[in-house]
Structure 1
Amino acid sequence: MRLSVIVLITLLFFCSDFVFGQTHFGKGTDQYGVFLNSLKKQLTESEYRKTLHFGGKRRNQFVQWIRDNVHVMKAMKYMEPEISSFWEFFMENQTKEGLYFDYYYPIAEPVNHRMNLFEKRYWKILSRDSIQMHRLPVEADLEYLMVEGAYYIWQSTGDDNYIKKWLPNLEKGLNYIMTDPLRWSARFQLAKRGYTLDTWDFMQLPTSREEYKKQGFDVQNGIFNIDEKTPMGIMHGDNSGLYAACMQLSAIYSASNNQDKVNFWKEKGEAIRQWANQLCWNGEYYAHFIEDDPSPAYLKIDHRHTLSLSNPYDINRGLPTQEMAQSIIANYQKLKGNNVENAFAEWFGVYPPVEPDFAGYKPGSYMNGGVNTIVGGELAKAAFQHGYEQYGVDILERMIELNTKHGDKLPVSYTPEGKVDAGIPDNWGQAAIMSAMIEGLAGVIDKGQLFDKVEIAPRWLAAGKNTAEVRVEYGPTKKNVSYTFNHDMKAKTINLMLAGSPSNYAIKLLLPDYKQIKSVKINKKTVAFSIDKVRNSQYLVLMDIMDITPLIEVRYK
């Protein structure tokens, strides 16, 4: 009788309109469900999303810069049927030494003069496609981002053979970063770059742009180009990206039972993590840069005490410890509480901004102290996952307000007073926020491929929601996981019903404050559990649940 009831409930669950839709938040999620739908619409209708025909193949582009494209893939994998073809185009054009190009432009675009500025290895003409491709030499992030893109493809398609053929290229890219004297610090055994603003692609000039031109120099050469004489330092975000890429490669090799490669890349990653945490941590957050070469005298910035945008990325890539992650989040909360710069939000590219400007960008503009949703989205996800659930909700609520203010359009970049700024694709920020909603608020994290092993950590109580229906689906395969969450305050019970593709569930259930568990049952059978305290939050933890459609019943007092 018990099993037949469970089967009936499951069938009803599967037969609802809720289940057969795409990734979305359903009943009980209210403004969050509406906001998620708005983000999905904006992402799919983005001006940067195009269909191209390069290299004799159809390509689905999200942004024409591959870095931005990969950042957007973290959301598009939940919607788009095909996410790999544009990434593949850049893989196909990887150079012999292992580097990737940043972007493409039509041959006739004015940026073609960069071919006269940069070394030949940093540009390429594809006559067949009438395009030019460049690498901005100062950049040090593409090689790890291409691994991140591969990981999204591997998870959402489950196509081991497809990724397997690209593994030598991905390894070649990481080895390039770790061996080229312009990319790798022999002194610190970490990736290095010219003194940019965090991960951004331009350096400071010794004079104003106008004066630099008068002296006969090319501004683009000055801000983008590097050689053996360029002063360089260690930027934490490059190294958290490298750490994550090593761990992602290790996970991919684990699926093919190549233990030697699993161990090799895990050891590489752990070494990078150890060195980066030892070198770059200032006691509260990751310092903007650590000098490998002395910072230029004309660069007026206190690197040690500048909080920069890669800090939330560092958390989500797994670089800091729990305590370090919480310290970073607390520093952003402090910026908000102090209302620094009289800013409407604390999601700064760098703080404090560089005076009197950085390569012509005045304080409060673009990445020089501007405010952007990229930081806000990554920060929200980090907050949800590290015991600052209410702060994560607060960030999302402010994002919803911005989205409403701009007529269901969420710009990515702002001045501190809230004026919309330019220079970054909006869908990059939108993808970061969508990822925060799925992996943070809804708490659905794929721990393998195709949701075969999945962590479910609903945090709806932090948002004041006692009911929530959630479905998360991979666009390329329709593999999915769905759950209904119900909290009955009078009965002091929480029910969580799960369905979809997983064969192994790990549950981390946020509990009401100051409550103690009376009993936990899975499909009416009493089970053992543990409690995980994350800062002030309590999570009920259940591991290795193998039931196809488990119904979890929690009673508390």
Structure 2
Amino acid sequence: MAIRVVTGNPVWDEFAPTIEEFLRHDRSEFIIDGRRVGGYRSPDTTPIWLRDHTHQMKGFKYFDPDVTSALDIFCQAQMPDGSFYDLFVDTDGIGGHDPAYHRLIFYDAINRIFYQRTQVEADVEYLAVEAVHGAWQATGDDEWMRAKLPHLERGLAYSMRHPHRWSPEYQLVKRDFTIDTWDFAVGPIVVTPKGRYHRSEIDENSLWCIMHGDNSGMYLACKLMARMYAYLGHFERATHWQQVGEGFRQRTNQVCWNGTFYTHQVHITPVNLDVDESRQLSLSNTYDMNRGLPGHGQCVSIIQEYQRRRETLKETHFAEWLSIDPPFPPEIFGGAEHAQGRYVNGGIMPLVGGELARASFEHGFESYGVDILKRYYELAIEPEKTYLWYQPDGMPASGGDILPTDGWGSAAMLYAFVEGLAGVVDQTKGYGHVRLSPRWRAAEVDDVEVEIGYAASGATLRYTWKFDNTTNKIELDFSGPCDRVDFHVLVPKPAKEVTLGGQTIDFANKDVEQSHYVDFSLRSKRGNVVVKMK
């Protein structure tokens, strides 16, 4: 196991191992061109969606030595215009994907594999960047990453020029009117001889919008492209993508920020729906924060809005991890299966809770982040079952291909656990440059051993952390393949001295909201750090 946390408290000690088991049940394998290909399926349908696979990589990259084979297949099948298929599946798993309706389908007869692009989806190309970056971090394989960059360049160029993806007016990525990042749009059910489908193809009835989550995804993709190019020494391309990303950040904040959170959809095509869209808080607000789109003050506003919704809805909703609130009338999206409080139309989603927890740890709401993780322990870790979505009363999703091992939501919770609570953030690849922000005092933990590593490369960061209330100090021993460690340590009081191996070093006290941190940087692969507080 590539994650080991020992605190003596089962809430934290069982967290990662249980999620690893969830993810193992979500893994599918295919033989394509004689090669074994592994991917992570959606919690509610059998194909390998690039979207679900990418989001689950926030968890499986620690446990699975194969983080590249599925991405190789998506890149190999990239379409001439630069776009990617968003799923592949063998012929036994084609399910509801109907060539009579879904137009962007390719069938590989030799390998018996179908590929499909759901046309209303605008997120696939930027998610491909996130996936390649995550796989590179886990493997440390520079040549593999270098070979993927031309694919990623073509994908992002497609997003910024194709008339189905790009708004010349706003200079932002657009999409048909879906619920946040989901794969069906406003409109009636489509009927073909094979079945009934929610509207997912672009046509003359498309209602164009700017969705904040697509453009925070583009912003993150640009930052990651710049990071990979800079690592390879291609500083001109790195600067280019930094500048493109900054444009996305500025324009998205100008167009989509409503003063409290990001507007669900900014309409290019006028609509008149029976819902107060100005109040709709949609799931990508949590992703926006972790992608770096909003500033700290905006993140505080979004987090506090979720806390307000929790209080306002506490009599009817067991959690504030809302897909969207308030929901749409169900007839807008074609029927009763999208009734209010179900699925992405107001259902409760652990993927939202995980992203919200990760942002809370980063922006001075550490106790709230701990609270979310504890509630997920009670909901999913302890009973060893987790679902993509729940009804507001806590009833889990059921039927069809739904698994009780939701990888998307559990990976988001693990992301918050590893990077938020344990505070281990890989800044390049293989923990060569680490940001280390242990926040265990927020969980009232005084003594912990932590190992976080990648199964693909074996690169592992280890530390022990101890808080001594009688001497008012924190002792932290660390080791790993790191050339640089940037410490950002949560402390109960501001520091008065920091030592490395008994020698005093420079540091800075920093407050994040009401929380105290001590910041310092070291260029060392191991060391004993002691923080003495005032």
Q: TM-score range by the shorter chain?
A: over 0.9
* TM-aligned CA distance change 1:284 to 1:546, over 3 Å: same
Is residue 2:380 matched to residue 1:403?
yes
Question: 1:338 Cα deviation (Å)?
Answer: 1.7
Q: Which of 484, 490, 496 is equivalent to 2:470?
A: 490
Segment drifting more, 241-250 vs 407-416: 407-416
SS of 1:475's partner is coil
Instruction: Give deviations 1:413-459, integer Å, cap 9, x for gaps.
Output: 10000000147761111111111100000000001111000011000
Q: Which residue of 2 aligns with 1:158?
A: 140
Contact 1:519 1:556 in 2 (8 A): yes
State the distance in 2 between where 1:182 and 1:516 align.
52
Contact 2:3 2:16 in 1 (8 A): no
1:106-255 to structure 2, matched below 5 A, reads 106-107=90-91, 111=95, 114-119=98-103, 122-206=104-188, 209=189, 219-220=196-197, 223-227=199-203, 229-255=205-231
* TM-aligned CA distance change 1:440 to 1:309, over 3 Å: same
Instruction: Give deviations 1:105-142, integer Å, cap 9, x for gaps.
Output: 333666576322244xx110110111221111100010
Contact 2:495 2:509 in 1 (8 A): no
Aligned residues between the structures: 521
State the distance in 2 between where 1:107 and 1:31 align.
41
Question: 1:237 Cα deviation (Å)?
Answer: 0.5
State the distance in 2 between where 1:41 and 1:57 align.
25
Is residue 2:33 matched to residue 1:59?
no
Contact 2:348 2:389 in 1 (8 A): yes
Is residue 2:514 matched to residue 1:536?
yes
State the distance in 1 between where 2:109 and 2:330 align.
43
Q: Which residue of 2 aligns with 1:79?
A: 63
Contact 1:309 1:348 in 2 (8 A): yes
Q: Which residue of 1 aligns with 2:334?
A: 359
Contact 2:67 2:138 in 1 (8 A): no
Contact 1:29 1:467 in 2 (8 A): no
Q: Which residue of 2 aligns with 1:447?
A: 427
State the distance in 2 between where 1:110 and 1:89 align.
17
* TM-aligned CA distance change 1:390 to 1:175, over 3 Å: same
Code of the aligned partner of 1:351: D
State the distance in 2 between where 1:243 and 1:83 align.
23
Question: 1:340 Cα deviation (Å)?
Answer: 5.2
Q: Which residue of 2 aligns with 1:375?
A: 352
Q: Which of 296, 306, 309 is equivalent to 2:283?
A: 309
Contact 1:28 1:466 in 2 (8 A): no
Question: 1:61 Cα deviation (Å)?
Answer: 1.5
State the distance in 1 between where 2:532 and 2:153 align.
49
Instruction: Give deviations 1:70-127, integer Å, cap 9, x for gaps.
Output: 11111111111111101111110010001111212333666576322244xx110110
Question: 1:217 Cα deviation (Å)?
Answer: 12
State the distance in 1 between where 2:348 and 2:208 align.
26
Segment drifting more, 26-35 vs 167-176: 26-35
State the distance in 2 between where 1:245 and 1:235 align.
16
Contact 2:6 2:12 in 1 (8 A): no
SS of 2:110's partner is helix
Code of the aligned partner of 1:554: V
* TM-aligned CA distance change 1:113 to 1:460, over 3 Å: closer
Identity of aligned residues (%): 36
Contact 1:202 1:359 in 2 (8 A): no
Contact 1:182 1:228 in 2 (8 A): no
Code of the aligned partner of 1:437: F
Q: Which of 380, 384, 398 is equivalent to 2:361?
A: 384
Q: Which residue of 2 aligns with 1:4?
A: none
Contact 1:154 1:163 in 2 (8 A): yes
Question: 1:412 Cα deviation (Å)?
Answer: 2.6
State the distance in 2 between where 1:258 and 1:213 align.
51
Q: Which has the larger radius of gyration?
A: 1
Question: 1:555 Cα deviation (Å)?
Answer: 1.2
State the distance in 1 between where 2:457 and 2:92 align.
39
Q: Which runs of 5+ in 1 are unaligned?
A: 1-20
State the distance in 1 between where 2:378 and 2:96 align.
41
Q: Which residue of 1 aligns with 2:53?
A: 69
Q: Which residue of 2 aligns with 1:42?
A: 22
Code of the aligned partner of 2:258: N
Q: Which of 15, 22, 42 is equivalent to 2:2?
A: 22
Segment drifting more, 172-181 vs 409-418: 409-418
Q: Which residue of 2 aligns with 1:326?
A: 300
Q: Which of 433, 436, 446 is equivalent to 2:413?
A: 433
* TM-aligned CA distance change 1:109 to 1:500, over 3 Å: closer
Contact 1:29 1:468 in 2 (8 A): no
Code of the aligned partner of 2:391: T
* TM-aligned CA distance change 1:284 to 1:424, over 3 Å: farther
Is residue 2:523 matched to residue 1:546?
yes
Instruction: Give deviations 1:144-203, integer Å, cap 9, x for gaps.
Output: 011110000111111111111111111100100110011100100000001100000011
State the distance in 1 between where 2:39 and 2:330 align.
37
Code of the aligned partner of 1:455: R
State the distance in 2 between where 1:28 and 1:550 align.
24
- TM-score (ref. length: structure 2): 0.94
SS of 2:242's partner is helix
